[in-house]
Amino acid sequence: GQNIDQPTEMTATEGAIVQINCTYQTSGFNGLFWYQQHAGEAPTFLSYNVLDGLEEKGRFSSFLSRSKGYSYLLLKELQMKDSASYLCAGTSGTYKYIFGTGTRLKVLA
Amino acid sequence: DGGITQSPKYLFRKEGQNVTLSCEQNLNHDAMYWYRQDPGQGLRLIYYSQIVNDFQKGDIAEGYSVSREKKESFPLTVTSAQKNPTAFYLCASSIGSGGEQFFGPGTRLTVL
């Protein structure tokens, strides 16, 4: 079957580093997306991993291990505006994407 | 600027009424999608369309209908058969299969 798991909520302090994990149990996933969603707004694209390893984009990095069914999003130098939900989504290259429930991140001053 | 628009942002309807949510994109994307988002749940796929005049049911299509008469437009009708229609509805598009999805701002539907 296809299932994506991520923690429901995390809290971190401004300026710190936080890692949001995502695990999936599925066959056929060949790519993992991360999206950021502020409350009541549209998800916006952060990263896409199709190969194993780390992809770095400014303060945000994403890691994928396909053999372990595991991905994480790393946020450095946290800012208050990073308070949002972070959605992990898998794709098998078809038109169907499987989304996790999202991790609500609270950044405290 | 290219993007996806959804209207209205907030919509209120009485129980038993059908309602149509608008979604328009000028990104020249072939694929379009409708998702429903409820508190504490991930995005759930209602319908998707790979190309004009074609659409497929997603995981929770019951009580919903769509059309794709133009590449730019993919309206969603929430019918009276949908048992729990109050939710946040998101429209998205992508160039093709498996690629990055671009999302509209969403419509929050409340059925009274």
User: What are the percentages of helix, strand and coil residues in chain B, rounded to 5?
Assistant: 0, 50, 50
- CB A14, CB A24: distance < 8 Å: no
CB nearest to A42's CB, from B41, B44, B90: B90
Which stretches does DSSP call E strand in B26-99?
31-37, 44-51, 54-57, 64-66, 76-78, 87-94
Instruction: Answer yes or no: do B90 and A4 touch at CB < 8 A.
Output: no
For chain A, say whether B98 makes contact (Cβ under 8 Å): yes
pLDDT at A26: 61
Q: β-strand A60-65 against A53-57: which pairing, if any?
A: antiparallel
Both tokens of A78, joined, read 């946290």
Is pLDDT of B1 > 70?
A: no
Is pLDDT of A93 > 80?
A: no
Give residue-wise pLDDT tens across range A46-85: 999 999 999 999 999 999 999 899 999 999 999 999 999 9
Instruction: Answer yes or no: do A30 and B101 touch at CB < 8 A.
Output: no
For chain B, say whether A69 makes contact (Cβ under 8 Å): no
Q: What's the mean pLDDT when you consider all of chain B?
A: 94
Q: A12 vs chain B: nearest CA distance in angstroms?
A: 20
Average pLDDT over residues A39-43: 91
Q: Of the ranges A28-42, A85-99, B23-37, which is most confident? A: B23-37
Is pLDDT of A88 > 80?
A: yes
Cis peptide before A43 (omega within 30 of 0): no
Place of tokens 């450095």: A76
Is pLDDT of A19 > 60?
A: yes
pLDDT at B41: 82
CB nearest to A100's CB, from B42, B50, B108: B42
Average pLDDT over residues A20-43: 89
- CB B104, CB B23: distance < 8 Å: yes
pLDDT at A3: 83
Q: What's the mean pLDDT when you consider all of chain A?
A: 92
Is pLDDT of B40 > 90?
A: no
**Searching chain A, which residue's CA lies closest to the CA of residue B41?**
A101
Both tokens of B71, joined, read 């590449």
pLDDT at A103: 97
A101: left (phi over 0), alpha (psi -120 to 50) or beta: alpha
Place of tokens 């208050």: A80
For chain A, say whether B95 makes contact (Cβ under 8 Å): no
